[in-house]
Homo-oligomer: A and B are copies of this chain.
Amino acid sequence: MNNSRRALVLDAARSVFERLGNEGASIREIARQAGYTPGAIYSYFDNKEAIYGALLAESLERLNAVVDAAGDATMQPAELLDAKASAWFGFYAANPRDLDLGFYLVQGMRSRELTAELNEQLNDRLHDALQPCEAALRAMGLNAEDALRENTSLFAHGVGLLLLQHTGRIHMFGQDAVILFDAYLISLVERLYRDASPA
């Protein structure tokens, strides 16, 4: 199974997903885009879902790469939190197509259902990308439970902002997602400091 040609199909798939969304992306269309007949696609992927899975997996790898590269060892925990959180948020803010992919994972794929195995594997990679924030929160003195809670809230806040931004709803409010996310981070850090050092 020639890997470069598989990649070619995957590129076509990505572009079709971009252009037509998850529902509009058909095997026919992907094949057309790749310059193949539909049957040829099945040399590279077992079925439509596998294509989506591969696309998402690859997106999550890029996300993790960005998160891993963010910050450095010399940083204070609060700085690191900011760096790591801004990394994942920034990745999706800058790459709406990856957001699309991620959203299918989170929203649309309930019915079609990825194989349980793939689903778990993808969940794990998402988890990986969020883990550094949780570690930074712990380094700031939070216990495991609190760190998890704050990290979940942080993730939810980012997700909400990304959704509002990507759908243009945020303009309705005359706001900017990045600024609001930064503000949330600042408030969070302040609150944690205050809670940590009650005179």
Contact = CB atoms under 8 A, between A and B. Distances in A.
A163 interface: yes
Interface in A89-116: 96, 99-100, 103-104, 106-111
Contacts of A141: none
A168 interface: yes
Copies of this chain present? 4
A163 B166 contact: no
B108 A22 contact: yes
Given A149-B180, A159-B163, A160-B159, A111 B170 contact: no
B175 A110 contact: no
A167 B21 contact: no
A23 B159 contact: no
B163 A23 contact: no
Contact of A163 (B153, B160, B168): B160
Contacts of A175: 148-149, 152
A5 interface: no
Contact of A180 (B23, B108, B153): B153
B152 A173 contact: yes
Nearest to A96: B109
Contact of A108 (B108, B157, B164, B187): B108
A127 interface: yes
